[in-house]
Amino acid sequence: MENLSESELNALVSLLDDTDHEVKDHVKGKIISLGNDVIPFLEKKWESSFNPDVQKEIEELVHQLQFDLLKERLEQWKASGGKDLLRGLWIINTYQYPDLEFDKLNAEMNQIYFEVWTGFKTDVSAYDQVRLINNILFSQLRFSANTKNFHSPGNSMISNVLDTRRGNPISLCAVYYLVAQKLGLPVYGVNLPNLFVLTYKAPDAAIYINAFNKGLIFSKQDINNYLEHLKISPKEEFFEPCSHLDIAKRTLRNLIVAFDKLGEPEKVEEIRELLQILDPPIL
């Protein structure tokens, strides 16, 4: 952050209710240029202010600073190849929960992994390994489909899913996938139309898992039947593993639908902005 004294910062904030829009825009631009380090100061000014107009301006500035940081992190994650899925989901999570620390989320995920690991066996078939994970995640830890509030934005926020043990197809699959990968299993995400599932893909086994239906195990033929029911022609991508970037993009698309249904067009546009970082339009 640029070295401004507290009195200089106070002077800047005091101009947020200036009636001259040009002055106000200049002040806001100056504050934004100071970066995220200025947020604690702005939050203190919000608490001590008795002017609702100034408070609103501060809220918008803080949100803009946090959103800019989110975009920067998302760009860096994409540039890294999106190797760490949990980090990518955490970055998206900070849209709703900007103060969430990655280490806290990682610790919660590690605890779930530990619960599964203690009841897991490596010397059984792929089918039985999946059944063991299903039993711990869905029976013991009680993860389940959030069918009552299917389009809630919280279903796409990994921290909320870990707290409530409720989620949508992709978030429940993400939890399952992160656990399975840490166990060293060849489990991957699969992008189906209107549904996200997992596949256990090994030379001697190729099964599919529906985490939204308590880990229901099904076959490639079941996918064909599903596609036929939707009148959609089969494509290779409907049967093969997808990337972490694909999972993040689908999570963002779910959020667009969620905020659209809530009638929050500003949030819809911001999430579209995030989606364009991962999936830029072809010019």
Question: What is the number of structural domains in the chain?
Answer: 2
Enter the tokens of residue 21: 């829009």
Strand pairing partners for 199? 188, 208
- Least confident segment among 97-111, 155-169, 196-210: 196-210
Percent of the chain at pLDDT > 90 equals 72
CA pair distance 241, 236, nearest whole angstrom: 10
Evaluate whether residue 74 is within a structural domain.
yes
CA-to-CA separations, 266 to 38, 64, 204, 255, in angstroms, rounded: 24, 12, 49, 12
Residue 186 has pLDDT above 50, yes or no: yes
Residue 104 has pLDDT above 60, yes or no: yes
Residue 20 has pLDDT above 70, yes or no: no
Residue 3 has pLDDT above 80, yes or no: no
CA pair distance 219, 199, nearest whole angstrom: 9
Domain boundary among 55, 80, 105: 80
The reply to whether 250 and 122 lie within a common domain is: yes
CA atoms within 13 A on the CB side of 223: 26
The reply to whether 54 and 113 lie within a common domain is: no
Going by the DSSP 8-state scheme, the letter that residue 19 receives in this structure is S
CA atoms within 13 A on the CB side of 157: 17
Percent of the chain at pLDDT > 70 equals 93
- Least confident segment among 5-9, 108-112, 239-243: 5-9
The reply to whether 90 and 148 lie within a common domain is: yes
Q: How does pLDDT run across 30-46, given as a tens digit for each residue?
A: 778 777 788 877 888 77
Residue 1: predicted pLDDT: 47
Residue 118 has pLDDT above 80, yes or no: yes
CA pair distance 257, 147, nearest whole angstrom: 16
Helix (H, G, I), strand (E, B) or coil at 97: coil
Evaluate whether residue 1 is within a structural domain.
no
Q: Give the mean pLDDT of 196-206.
A: 90
Show Cβ contacts of residue 67 under 8 Å, excluding neighbours closer than 6 positions.
95, 270
Domain boundary among 80, 100, 132: 80
Residue 17 has pLDDT above 70, yes or no: no
The reply to whether 76 and 43 lie within a common domain is: yes
**Full-model pTM:** 0.88
Enter the tokens of residue 34: 């100071």
CA pair distance 68, 61, nearest whole angstrom: 11
Q: How does pLDDT run across 218-275, given as a tens digit for each residue?
A: 999 999 999 999 999 999 899 999 999 999 999 999 999 999 999 999 999 999 999 9
Show Cβ contacts of residue 213 under 8 Å, excluding neighbours closer than 6 positions.
145
The reply to whether 71 and 129 lie within a common domain is: no
Domain boundary among 50, 80, 110: 80
- Alpha-helical regions (H) of 49-150: 52-79, 85-93, 102-118, 126-134
Domain hosting residue 248, numbered range: 85-278
Evaluate whether residue 283 is within a structural domain.
no
The reply to whether 142 and 224 lie within a common domain is: yes
The reply to whether 206 and 192 lie within a common domain is: yes
Q: Give the mean pLDDT of 55-68.
A: 87
Q: How does pLDDT run across 130-144, given as a tens digit for each residue?
A: 999 999 999 999 999
Chain center to CA of 160: 10
Residue 120 has pLDDT above 50, yes or no: yes
pLDDT bucket at 11, cuts 50 / 70 / 90? low
The reply to whether 118 and 183 lie within a common domain is: yes
- Least confident segment among 19-28, 115-124, 274-283: 19-28
- Would you tell me the crossing angle of helices 169-182 and 102-118 to the nearest 10 degrees? 70
Evaluate whether residue 218 is within a structural domain.
yes
Residue 14: predicted pLDDT: 67
Mean pLDDT of the chain: 91
The reply to whether 166 and 69 lie within a common domain is: no
